Amino acid sequence: MTDERPKALRLFIGVRISLATVRALDEAVQVMRRGPRGELRWVAPASYHVTLKFLGWSRPEVAFALRDRVAAAVAGQRAFDLDTVGLGAFPTPARARVLWAGVDAQGGARLAELAGRMERACEDLGFAREERPFHPHVTLARLKVPGDVRGLISGCSEQVFRSSWIDSVVLFESHTKSTGSEYEEKARWSLEGDSKAARRHTGPVETEAELADELPLDEASVEDLMPEPAPEGATHTVPTHTVSRGASHDGPHDDDDEEHHDDGDQFEGPGS
């Protein structure tokens, strides 16, 4: 007898950055790629984003259930400018597992506020709160084995990689491909904006996927929407979640699927 249960989705909530920022970051990456390559695996520019909340393996109904909860969570939240500033690494540049671009303090505070709202919205669906500090960033590369990237990022601690107008929050599904992770947009929630939104839209770099309200999903109880166990053979477990600001976290990195470190590494310490 075949298993007819819906396939679990690997989900996270985040924000997109502007095309101008993507291009500026890619220019910096191209320079770094001319140096010693080591074990760096570079993220495709079309996948650049900032993660707000990692959900992990979830039933498809979660995408449906999140619509009203996230809409309520972002109600009254204004769109804002976000500068992408400087390069760093988790857990430290001397023993890096993730190479990232940071964000400015003011924009980072707004992202932290959104992340907190996502935590509370998702808690209603059975997702535990994250205990580790929130550190917003854009993942540029990953290392399977910790390596020293101090030479790559030296001189870039204050470099500004353009600005993004953050006017929406997005639910992504993460797909593992032989060439790396790809992120499919499942739903989008708009923030309140002004005339800047038309000029500095942070839409997808590539054609966006089908929205959640086009998914053939039925209403489900909260009990039915608890996090889905990882498929057989997968090594990921849904992390415990709560947003905290300020203090850094230098604990061990989540060693789930190697291609999905940025789905959870927004909670690592600054390490730069």
Instruction: Determine the average pLDDT of the residues in 7-32.
Output: 94
190-232 per-position pLDDT tens digit: 999 865 544 444 455 443 333 333 333 333 333 444 444 444 4
| Type of residue at 30 | Q
In the chain, alpha helices (H): 19-33, 61-74, 105-123, 150-153, 196-199
Q: Quick one: pLDDT at residue 170? A: 97
139-151 per-position pLDDT tens digit: 999 998 999 999 8
Collapse the DSSP code of 70 into the 3-class scheme (helix H, G, I; strand E, B; otherwise coil) and give the result. helix
Q: Quick one: pLDDT at residue 270? A: 42
In the chain the domains, ranked by start, together with CATH numbers, are: 9-267 (3.90.1140.10)
44-59 per-position pLDDT tens digit: 999 999 999 999 999 8
Q: Quick one: pLDDT at residue 34? A: 81
The set of catalytic residues is 49, 137
HEC-encoded secondary structure of 193-254: CCCHHHHCCCCCCCCCCCCHHHCCCCCCCHHHHCCCCCCCCCCCCCCCECCECCCCCCCCCC
The winner for highest mean pLDDT among 127-136, 154-163, 209-218, 245-254 is 127-136
pTM for this entry: 0.74
What's the mean per-residue pLDDT of the chain? 76
What are phi and psi for residue 162, nearest 5 degrees?
Answer: 75, 180
Q: Parallel, antiparallel, or unpaired: how do β-strands 9-16 and 168-177 relate? A: antiparallel
Residue 205 CB neighbour total at 10 angstroms? 18
Instruction: Determine the average pLDDT of the residues in 226-246.
Output: 37
Integer Cα distance of 113 and 118 in angstroms: 9
Instruction: Select the more confidently predicted residue: 182 or 234.
Output: 182
Are 141 and 101 a contacting pair, CB within 8 Å?
no
Banded pLDDT at 38 (limits 50, 70, 90):
low
Q: Quick one: pLDDT at residue 254? A: 37
Q: At what angle do helices 105-123 and 61-74 cross, to 10 degrees?
A: 130
Instruction: Select the more confidently predicted residue: 259 or 3.
Output: 3
